[in-house]
């Protein structure tokens, strides 16, 4: 499942305005993505000369493992981030 989240980061690293840009179609998955953005706040401070806020788009790729695998069923999260100025 993939979900895309847009959010802003201010100079102190605080995240805000997190919202679903593209839903996975699964409310629990979408909610988990929003919760992850909230959980990582604050991020590192923005560097000198940065604008007051930076808008970020982050894509979460939830990759599940089959229950029949030798290890217990779990899921991994992969993602990529894009900065939009």
Q: For residue range 18-63, what is the model confidence (pLDDT) as tens digits?
A: 999 999 999 999 999 999 999 999 999 999 999 999 999 999 998 8
Structural domain total, the chain: 1
Predicted local confidence at residue 71, as pLDDT: 40
For 31, the enclosing helix (H) or strand (E) is helix 27-39
Domain of 19 in residue numbering reads as 2-84
First to last CA, the chain: 27
Name the token pair of 22.
């593209």
* Least confident span in 5-9, 17-21, 70-74: 70-74
| pLDDT tier for residue 72 given thresholds of 50, 70 and 90 | very low
Q: In this predicted model, which residue has the larger pLDDT, 71 or 40?
A: 40
16 C-beta neighbours (distance < 10 Å), count: 12
Question: What whole-number distance in Å separates Cα of residue 71 and Cα of residue 22?
Answer: 31
């Amino acid at each position: 499942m993939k979900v895309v989240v847009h959010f802003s980061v201010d100079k102190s690293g605080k995240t805000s305005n997190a919202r679903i840009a593209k839903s996975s179609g699964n409310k629990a998955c979408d909610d988990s993505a929003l919760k992850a953005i909230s959980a990582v706040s604050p991020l590192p401070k923005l560097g000198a000369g940065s604008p007051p806020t930076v808008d970020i788009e982050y894509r979460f790729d939830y990759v599940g493992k089959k229950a029949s695998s030798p290890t217990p069923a779990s899921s991994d999260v992969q993602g990529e981030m894009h900065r939009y100025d």
